Amino acid sequence: MSYMKEFTKGLVKENPTLVSLLGMCPTLAITTMAFNAIGMGIAATFVLVCSNVVISLLKNIIPKSVRLPCYIVVIAGFVTLIQLLLQAYVPPVYDALGIYLPLITVNCIILGRAEMFASKNNVATSALDGLGMGVGFTLALFTIGSIREILGSGTWFSGTDLMITICPEFMEPMTLFVLPAGGFFVLGCVIALVNKIAHRKPPEATGCAACPNRGSCISVETESAASNTEEKIEKKEGDN
């Protein structure tokens, strides 16, 4: 039963994109088409499951102080693997994802799960956690990709045999949604919708709860806030 839970929590309750707000770069960049979104989702899921398994196996061997570089190297290895596999067997997906495929390496969902989950749990639960998070990521990408493709290009699943033309000929699709601006807008609206449905208190503006860099990020925030107040105080004193 608890195994099932590890899998399902990533789908909705702790969805990495829409709830934890991680991995924004690929979410925004490749969701211009539903098909690309699925390709990216599957590639990321593969890397997530494999790296979670390996890191969970190595959790007692990797020294604490150098764990982040170790995790990144493991992840980069699997990214290279999926890159070569896609290039060999599914070249259209490889071309469509372009530079964002190697950039899975620095996707904070994967590093975040390694740090938060795989380094503390056994192999089976880590694999399920990775699978759940990966499927959740894919679902979120697919939703956003579908919205953007239908509104922006008037088609669905273009680039495959399943292509459906949704927008009638005489109507001009709203190109805005395929532009980068549309990506930000649709993601913002989808997250707001999820907030509304869940009746949840909106999360803090920076949703980096699972980000391994969170510690330093918070120190940046407090530091700059502190220096701001210092500046203000100095300015006040100067005015006086």
CB of 98 to other proteins, least distance (A): 8
Cβ-Cβ contacts under 8 Å for 34 (sequence gap 6 or more): 142, 145, 146, 149, 156, 157
Rounded to a whole number of angstroms, the minimum distance from the CB of residue 179 to other proteins is 6
Q: Does 208 bind other proteins (CB under 8 A)?
A: yes
- Under the criterion CB under 8 A, does residue 184 sit at the interface with other proteins? yes
Residue 92 touches other proteins, criterion: CB under 8 A: no
Task: Verify binding: residue 221, other proteins, rule CB under 8 A.
Answer: yes
Q: Does 187 bind other proteins (CB under 8 A)?
A: yes
Distance CA 219, CA 123 (A): 33
Tokens representing 61 are: 């061997």
Residue 161 or residue 172: which is nearer to other proteins going by CB?
172
User: Which runs of consecutive H residues, i.e. helices, occur in the chain?
Assistant: 2-8, 24-29, 34-57, 67-89, 91-97, 108-113, 123-153, 180-198, 214-239
Per CB under 8 A, the list member of 58, 90, 103, 116 interacting with other proteins is 103
- Which CB contacts under 8 angstroms, 24+ apart, belong to 62-68? 62/119, 67/115, 67/119, 68/111, 68/115, 68/212
Question: Does residue 232 interact with other proteins by CB under 8 A?
Answer: no
For 49, what's the count of Cα atoms within 13 Å in the CB-facing half-sphere?
A: 17
Which is nearer to other proteins, 164 or 220 (by Cβ)? 220
The site for other proteins (CB under 8 A) is made up of 21, 24-26, 28-29, 68-69, 72-73, 76-77, 79-80, 83-84, 98-99, 102-103, 105-108, 111, 176, 179-185, 187-189, 191-193, 195-196, 202-208, 211-213, 216-217, 219-221, 223-225, 227-228, 231
